[in-house]
Amino acid sequence: MHLISAQELANGAKEQAGLIEGLTVTIDLIGELFTMRKFIAFCSTLVFTSMLFFGQSAFAADATTCELEESTLAFNIVYPEGCEIPENFKIVYLTFDDGPTKYTPKILEILAQHDVPATFFVVGNTEYTHYIRDIAENSHAIGLHCYNHKFEQIYSSKEAYFNDLKKIDDIVYDHTGYRSMIIRFPGGSSIKRGTNKWFMKQLSSEVRERGYQYFDWNCDSGDANGTSSASVALTKIKSMEKEVGDIVIVLMHDTKGITVEYLPAVIEHFKELGYTFSRLCPASPAVHHSW
């Protein structure tokens, strides 16, 4: 029989004390970890709650800004059935909005001098609608833009939009004898108007269901926004053209005298790059802005 000495008892007591101390430390660490996790969870809840209550304006504003930026820059090329563009074939469509105006005859003259076609998206509330016939007689395409260009009226409902479209359609028919099936939405298809945030997407689908094709743009001269000079407009077109690829739809306006100034340089620019000029029709590849 082994008798436990006093020294062994002392050593055992020390070992037990060490185990207890280690266990205590472990429990303390677990407690601290649990407390930290609770604190992190509390912070996460606080941040989430702050986003719900205080982030409505700040976070929504950031999202809207990004969405607007993307809708301005992002687009898709839509190829109608049967539309085939040869590889590396570069094509440019010159388009003019909001006319005809007093500048339209001069623009037609410049196009004739350079022997290039274009597309005019016309409006109806102008004293120059008789130039619509001249556009057609010069073998350019005519698209439907709108009658009065008042966004708050045009986009107040789908019925209001199609009533306005019918007015400009009738004017074009009266001057040309045919119904155009190509349109451009005032402000573009990604404009933030209508009765709900999906209004333009729904309207874009419906116009196609009715047999129309709509065309946005992927190159903008900026002439509608107060471009200060012809050189500035040309520089902007050149910078955007480099980013969009082989199919370019240029947005211009025959409501501005500055367009008459820079148009010859724009034509020469695309000719030097080897682009083919064409007019838009329902079978053309279409630029559609992204929402």
From 37, 54, 73, the end of a domain falls on: 73
From 46, 73, 100, the end of a domain falls on: 73
In terms of residue numbers, what domain contains 28? 7-73
> Who's near 125: CB < 8 A, 6+ residues apart?
147, 148, 149
Same domain, 39 and 123: no
pLDDT digits (tens, 9 = 90+) for 65-89: 223 233 345 899 999 888 878 888 9
Structure confidence at residue 64 as a pLDDT band (50, 70, 90): very low
Same domain, 256 and 134: yes
Instruction: State the pLDDT at residue 54.
Output: 32
Same domain, 222 and 137: yes
Please check whether residue 122 lies inside any domain of the structure. Answer: yes
pLDDT digits (tens, 9 = 90+) for 230-264: 888 888 898 888 888 899 999 999 998 999 999 99
> Who's near 183: CB < 8 A, 6+ residues apart?
121, 143, 144, 145, 165, 207, 212, 213, 214, 215
Same domain, 40 and 178: no
How many Cβ atoms from other residues are within 10 Å of residue 123's Cβ? 24
pLDDT digits (tens, 9 = 90+) for 117-167: 999 999 999 999 999 999 999 999 999 999 998 999 999 999 999 999 999
Please tell me the total count of domains within the chain. Answer: 2
Same domain, 138 and 182: yes
What's the rounded Cα separation, in Å, for the pair 113 and 131? 18
pLDDT digits (tens, 9 = 90+) for 8-36: 444 544 454 454 454 444 434 344 433 44
Same domain, 173 and 122: yes
Rounded percentage of the chain residues whose pLDDT exceeds 70: 75
Same domain, 95 and 30: no
Mean of all residue pLDDT scores within the chain: 80
Same domain, 53 and 142: no
Instruction: State the pLDDT at residue 124.
Output: 97
Please check whether residue 272 lies inside any domain of the structure. Answer: yes
Question: Which amino acid appears at position 226 of this protein?
Answer: G
pTM of the predicted structure, to 2 decimals: 0.74
